Amino acid sequence: MYVSKEELEVARRNASIRVLEFLDKARVVGLGTGSTVETFIRTAIDKLADKVLVASSIDTAITARSLGLAVVDSLSVDRLDIYVDSADEVDPLGRMVKGGGGAMTMEKILAAAAALRVFVVDELKLVPRVPHEKPVPVEVVPKALSIVRRMLEDVGFTCRLRVPQGKRVPVISDLGGAIIDVIPPKDWEPETISRTLDNVPGVIEHGLFVGYADVLVIGKLNGKVEVITYRMPKGSQ
C-alpha cells in the first residue's frame, strides 16, 4: 500500500493534536527527536510557549528555537513533568525501537526523568513485536568500538557500524558516542536483548525502550486517533 508523505503528516498532526491535552498541567516538558516530534512541536507551539523545554538533541533544540521557543540545558533540570517523543517501531506492549537519529541516550534519560511519557506515532510504526525490521541502535565509547563490536558479535548480534553517506568514519552522536546498528537473534525477546546490551562494557546506551511508554498516541491514515494507556500517574490527565 502506497502512503504519501502528506498522508503520514496528516496522521502525525492529528495524533499531535490529541497530545495537547496532556500538556495542561505540565511545566517542564522534554522533547524527543525526529520528524514526528517536529510535527508535534509545530502543532503545540502555543501551548509550549510558556513551558520549560528540554531537548534530547541539537536538532530538536534548533527546531524549537527557530519557532521562537526557549530551550534550557538539561543540566538545569532534574525532573520533567512530561516527555513527548516518537518511535521507529512500537509493538502492542508499548516496547519500542528508537534511535534512528542517534539521540537514544538523551531520549532515554529524559524519558526516565519524566512523570509521564507520551509517545506519538503514525500507524505505519506499529509492528507485532520489536525489533521487527529496524535494527537496534547502540551507542558505544568510540575508543572501545572494535572491542565492543566483537563482544556484541560473540553473544549473537549481527553488527553494522553506522557511517555517514559516502564516508568511512562512524556516525558520532551529540554526546560523542559512536553508533552501531545491531540485529539480535530472531528468537530473543526484547527484554533479553535489552538486558544483554545493558551488560556489555563500553555500551553507553541502546535504542530498545522497554517499559518506557505510559501513553501511546497513534495517528491512523483514516483520520482517526487511537490512544493506548499503559500507565497513568496520579494527578495526570
Question: Mind telling me the catalytic residues?
Answer: 107
Instruction: Evaluate whether 96 touches 130 at the Cβ level (below 8 Å).
Output: yes
Instruction: Evaluate whether 48 touches 69 at the Cβ level (below 8 Å).
Output: yes
C-alpha to C-alpha distance for 166 and 187, rounded to whole angstroms? 34
CB hemisphere CA count around 111 (13 angstroms): 26
8-state DSSP, 54: E
Please name the helix (run of DSSP H) or strand (run of DSSP E) that holds residue 95, with its range, or none. none
User: Which candidate, 24, 226, 227, 211, places its Cα nearest to that of 111?
Assistant: 211
Residue 66, burial from CB neighbour count under 10 angstroms (0-12, 13-18, 19+): exposed
